[in-house]
Amino acid sequence: MKTYKIAIVGASGFTGSELARLLVSHPAVSIEHITSESHAGKSFSDLHPQFYGILEKSLVSSDQLPLAGQDLIFLALPHGVSMEFVRKWSKSATKIIDLSGDFRLSGQSAYEKWYQIEHTFPDGFKDAVYGLPELNASSIRKAKLVANPGCFPTASILALAPLFAADIIRENTVIIDAKSGLTGAGVKATATTHFSQVNENFKAYGISKHRHTIEIEEQLELLSQKSNLVQFTPHLLPLDRGILVTAYAGLKEDMDQNKLDALYRGFYKDQPFVRLRKTPPGIKDVRGSHFADLYPVWDERTKRVVVLSAIDNLLKGAASQAVHNMNLMLDLPENTGLNQIPLKP
């Protein structure tokens, strides 16, 4: 098997750490460079002690990263920062997977409306492919720039995609109640994520204006070719990692549980990392893995579909999804390096 040279830009956060954990044992890649602006010169294991004796590569500034010599680069950077790196490498042959939100949306105007900052490389939207393998594998295989989806959108879109693809959602009836562990807020503590605020607490945030709302709406609209407003409310859970989404929708046609199960089985029949559960999934059922566990239910009394969706926000919602995209872009078997069994308890 050919060995591909890769680089990770942005090593200090949870996503950079999880990318390294998956890639260090991936049989087809070699980690050539890992960057950090604030920790250049240190060993990677100085930042992440779990890698002691395993990955001792010295961190470098991104300015030292050569424009040639890598087959693929992961950008594990905040939104607003990645776009300039994509601009810098836009003439290079190197493939890029951007884990920020800078190229996930349909274009500059949508981005600037929802992210409230100027987009400095709008040309990148023309080439970017939305990196949800269950929906876009063929386009991802041919892409040079992949926009890795957000964690909440991943769980939400997978929950509802079969219904939108069949065009049976009743207009503007979708409600998404989403809950995430603390790592979804990033590695830097804030007043909101301080232990004393999160411990034994549970709260909603970003009500009616969270930027993942438009990401979810745009991707579901592509499936049905019809606009459909989504009511999305995220919540912060007092746990390390994991997402549980409960999505509700009214339908335009008659449904029963057997028809609903058949619809989901048919849509995901060739998707190795989507598991259709016989019982409601919990966060620990997917923790540490690349699986998305779904549980669709037809409520005969209210005539609504209820779908539960559980993922690990740092993996299926970020790092392992990026590796899945990498496998497709490098023409590798899509499950390479991604067969971790969930950690439980």
Angstrom distances, CA of residue 61 to CA of 7, 134, 233: 12, 34, 37
What is the C-alpha to C-alpha distance for residues 211 and 208, in angstroms, rounded to an integer?
A: 9
Angstrom distances, CA of residue 215 to CA of 13, 110, 160: 23, 9, 14
Instruction: Name the catalytic one among 7, 76, 132, 151.
Output: 151
Residue 303 CB contacts under 8 Å (≥ 6 apart), including other chains: 250, 251, 255
Residue 330 CB contacts under 8 Å (≥ 6 apart), including other chains: 4, 28, 71, 72, 95
Beta strands in 102-143 (DSSP E): 128-130
> Both tokens of residue 69?
């010599």
First to last CA, the chain: 35
Residue 155 a catalytic site member: no
Query: Quick one: residue 69, left, alpha or beta (phi over 0 = left, psi -120 to 50 = alpha)?
Result: left
> Both tokens of residue 63?
């300015």
Q: Which of 107, 89, 95, 86 is nearest to 141 (CA)?
A: 95
Catalytic residues: 151
